[in-house]
Structure 1
C-alpha cells in the first residue's frame, strides 16, 4: 500500500523531466513538482504546521493548487479541499468544522475578495495563517528534514476530507486514508488505460474527487501530463484540445453536451481525443452515442462513483457499445456492489470495499446511518444489476415521485426527452397536484415548445410518466461536479393541475 508522498517521489524518479503539468505558458516536470512540493511543505512546517493537522484549499484548478495540496500530504497533514464557488460563509463553516489550521486561498478569483469574506464570516479560531495561493513561492524554504516527515506518513493516515455537495442538507466530510486515495486513482487509471503518453485535460474541479483523486493522483501514478482548467469555457476547451492534442477528457455529462452543442465545433480539430470517461447518477444514453458518432472518440467509458467511495463501477475498454451506453459497468477491483431487492429488480444500491470512506468527520451518527454493520454503504441510488454484474442506475431514491398511485422515476423520463431533436438538457421533478398527488414537471433547455415536448413524451411513455408542466430555462442549475441541483428546481412549487404549459 502507498502514500501520496511515496507516489510523488516515485513519479519523479520514473518520469523525471517529462512534463507533469501544463497551464498556459507554465510547464512543470515531475521532478519540478517534487521540488516545489518539498520546499512548500518545509515552508508549512516552518510556519508551525504539524503532522496530523488539517489544511484547507479554497481555489480553482492550477499548478499552484497541485503544489499546495501535495505539500499538505508531504508535511504529514490532511487536505480539506473547498468548493471554489463557495461563499465566504460556506467556506468558513467547513474551515471551522474541519479544524483547519492553515488555509490557502485564491484571493481575487472571479473578482471577489475571498480573504475578506472568510474573515467577515468567522473568527477562524483554529486558523494559524491564511496564505494567498499566488504568493505560494514566498512560503517555500529549504527542505531540511521534510523528507523524513513525508516518509513517516503511513497508508492508514487520513489523507483527505472531501465534503459532500450538500444538495440534500449540510455538507458532510468524507474521510479517506492514503491507501484509499492512491488505490482508487491507480484502479481508475489502469481500467481507463491511461499511460505516460496521454495528455489529460482536467476540467473537473480539483476540490472534487473526480479532479483531485482521478486527476492529480492518477497523473502521478500513470505519468500522464495534466492540463488543468480553472473554469470551464467551451471555446477555450476546444481550442486547447486542438492545440495540445489532448487525448484524455473525463468530465460530467454537461461538459460533452456543451461541446456537442457548440455552434463552432466544426472549426476545431478534436480528433486527438481517444478516451472519455463520464459519470453521474444517470447518463443519457443518447449522449454516449453522440460522443462516439459525432466526436469520434475511440473509447467512451461510463463509471459510477460518489464522494464517499470515489469510483465504484466502471465500464472497460472493449466493452460493447450498448453496454457502455446503458450501464455504469462492473465493480472495480477491491469493490463489490449489491441491490437491496430481489434478483433482477430495482432497489437501493449498496457498496462495500477498499475505497469506501473511513467515515464522516465528527459525525458517528451519520456514519452509522450510511454504513451498516456489515460494511455496506447505502448510496441512496436506485439501480439494477445484470447477470454479468453491470450496474444500471435508474434514479435517486429521493427523486422518485408517485403520480396517481404509480411510481415515476424522473431519470427514465429524462432519458426519453433527451432523444427529442432540439433539446440539449432536461431535468424532471415531481410537483404537488390536487388530483394526482404529484405530476411531472420538465425543465427543458432547447427549442421545442411545451406542447411539442408533451406530445413527444406521450408517444414514448405511459400516461402517468408524461410531464404535465414544461418550463424552459437557459441552463439547468448545476454544481461544479455537474450534478443538477434539483432542490433548487423544487424551491417554490405550488400545487398545480391542468395541461402542460410554457412558463
Structure 2
C-alpha cells in the first residue's frame, strides 16, 4: 500500500504538518529511508518498536518506515504516565521507543535497557532506502486496550486484516481521493491510525495531523486548508457546534463518529447546523476494528439511533444477556502473551465477546445500549446509561451528560447524572423533567454539574472516574 502510493498519487499532497508539506512521492521516499534507519539500528523482521509521540508527520514516517522494514508497530498513548508507558514497552518486548521529548512537558523516556530515540534527532533520515518483503499473515501492530477496566492488553492484528477492513471503511465513510482529512483522533488509537493514516494512503487523501485537540486550531485548519473530512468522537462535534462562530466551514463534507452514547440530538444538530453532506456512525473496538457502519442513503433516524450494519465478512449476534458478539476475519489473532485472557473473550467458535450491550433490528442494524459493566439494576430493573443520557440530552439546557449507577440502600442502585450545562437549570428541574419522560426506575436521583466531562485520549467519557 505504502510503496504504491507514490505511483498512484505522485505529486498530490500526502501530509500537511505546520510548514511541512509532503507529496506522496516525498512521503514514500522518507518512509523507505526510515526503514533503512530501523534496519541499521538492528530492527529485524518481526521485531517490535514502540512509538510514544503525538500526531505528526514524523509519527507517520516512523510507523510506515517500521512496517516497511518488516517490524511490528506498538503505538503508545501520549496521555499515559511514564510508569504506565514503561509497562506497555516492557510487555510488548519493544527493541526501541521513539518519542517526542518536548511534548506536554512529559518525560518521554523508555524503561532501562530499551533505547529511547527522539523523533527530532534526525534518526528517521539516517538510513539508506530499504524495503523488506512482508506477508499478509504477518502481525503488523500491537495496540494496547485503553485500560479503563483494568491492565491494558496487547491486541495482535495482521496486514491483511487491516488492509481489507479499511479499504471498505473508505467507501463507507465516503473518503475520496483528494480529500483533506484533519486527524484529531490520536494515532495511538485505531480510529486515528487505521481509519486515518492507513485509510488516507489507501484512498489518496491528504493527512492534516493535530497533536492536541484545540478547537481554535481545528477551526483555523478547516478554514485555511479547506478540510473536507473531519471524523471524531461526539465531543469533537459538540466543540465544533459551540465554537464555530462565523468561521468558514463550507469545505466540510464528511463526518464520522461513533460510541455507545451518541445523542440523537447531536446528530440532528450536526446535520442541520453544519455543512456536512454525509454523516457516518459506526461501532468498533480494538479487538475487531470497525464492526458496523451506517450506509450512504440511510435515513436520519437510522444514522442517529443505530451504528449501522455489519461490515463485509463480519457476523453479529446478540447473546441472551444482551452482549454484542462478533465473528469474522477482523477479529484479533489474540492478546499478546495472554492465551487465558484471549480464551475469556473469544470462544471456540470464534465469537468475540465485546463487553457492549446492544440490540439488532430486522434489517440487521445494531443499536448499542451501553457497556455491560455500565448497566445498573434499579429495584430489579435493568437501567442503561446510554438510553437515559439520550433522554437528558434533549433538554435545552443540557450540553453534555453522563449517567452512572450509584449505591442506594433501598433499590440497590440508582442513576446519577453528571451534566455540562449550556443554560440555567437546577438539579430539581432536570429530575422533574425526567419524570415526565421516562420510567421511574430510569430517572436519575441526583445531578452534579461539571464544567467538562473527564475523557480518555479517544474522547470517550471516563465513567470509572465519575463513579
The TM-score range, normalised by the shorter chain, is: over 0.9
SS at match of 2:245: helix
Match of 2:420 among 424, 441, 445: 445
Match of 2:54 among 36, 56, 60: 60
SS at match of 2:149: coil
Q: Residue 40 in 1 paired to residue 1 in 2? A: no
Match of 1:132 among 108, 118, 122: 118
Q: Residue 79 in 1 paired to residue 60 in 2? A: no
For these two proteins, the number of residue pairs brought into alignment is 465
How far 1:326 sits from its partner (Å)? 0.8
After superposition, the C-alpha distances for 1:199-231 in whole angstroms (9 at most, x for unaligned) are: 111010000000100100001100011111001
After superposition, the C-alpha distances for 1:348-394 in whole angstroms (9 at most, x for unaligned) are: 10001111111100000010111111111000111111111111011
Structure 1 stretches of at least 4 aligned residues deviating more than 3 Å after TM superposition = 136-139
CA RMSD of aligned residues (A): 1.1
Q: Residue 309 in 1 paired to residue 284 in 2? A: no
SS at match of 2:16: strand
Matches of 1:460 and 1:388, distance apart in 2: 28
Closer, same or farther: CA 306–406 of 1 in aligned 2, 3 Å: same
Alpha carbons 2:326, 2:352 under 8 Å: kept: yes
Matches of 1:138 and 1:239, distance apart in 2: 29
Q: Residue 322 in 1 paired to residue 301 in 2? A: yes
Matches of 1:136 and 1:186, distance apart in 2: 32
Alpha carbons 2:30, 2:125 under 8 Å: kept: no
Structure 2 counterparts to residues 11-410 of structure 1, below 5 A: 11-115=5-109, 118=110, 122-123=111-112, 125=113, 127=114, 129-137=115-123, 139-143=125-129, 146-147=130-131, 149=132, 152-262=133-243, 265-341=244-320, 347-410=322-385
How far 1:138 sits from its partner (Å)? 5.9
After TM superposition, the score normalised by the length of structure 1 is 0.91
Alpha carbons 2:294, 2:303 under 8 Å: kept: yes
Alpha carbons 1:248, 1:274 under 8 Å: kept: yes
SS at match of 2:262: coil
- Give structure 2 stretches of 5+ with no counterpart: none
1:424 is matched with 399
Matches of 2:441 and 2:25, distance apart in 1: 60
After superposition, the C-alpha distances for 1:432-483 in whole angstroms (9 at most, x for unaligned) are: 1111111111011114211121122111111111111111111111101111
Matches of 1:85 and 1:134, distance apart in 2: 20
Matches of 1:334 and 1:78, distance apart in 2: 25
Q: Which shows bigger deviation, 377-386 or 449-458?
A: 449-458
1:472 is matched with 449
After TM superposition, the score normalised by the length of structure 2 is 0.98
How far 1:34 sits from its partner (Å)? 0.8
Matches of 1:42 and 1:339, distance apart in 2: 47
Alpha carbons 2:33, 2:124 under 8 Å: kept: no
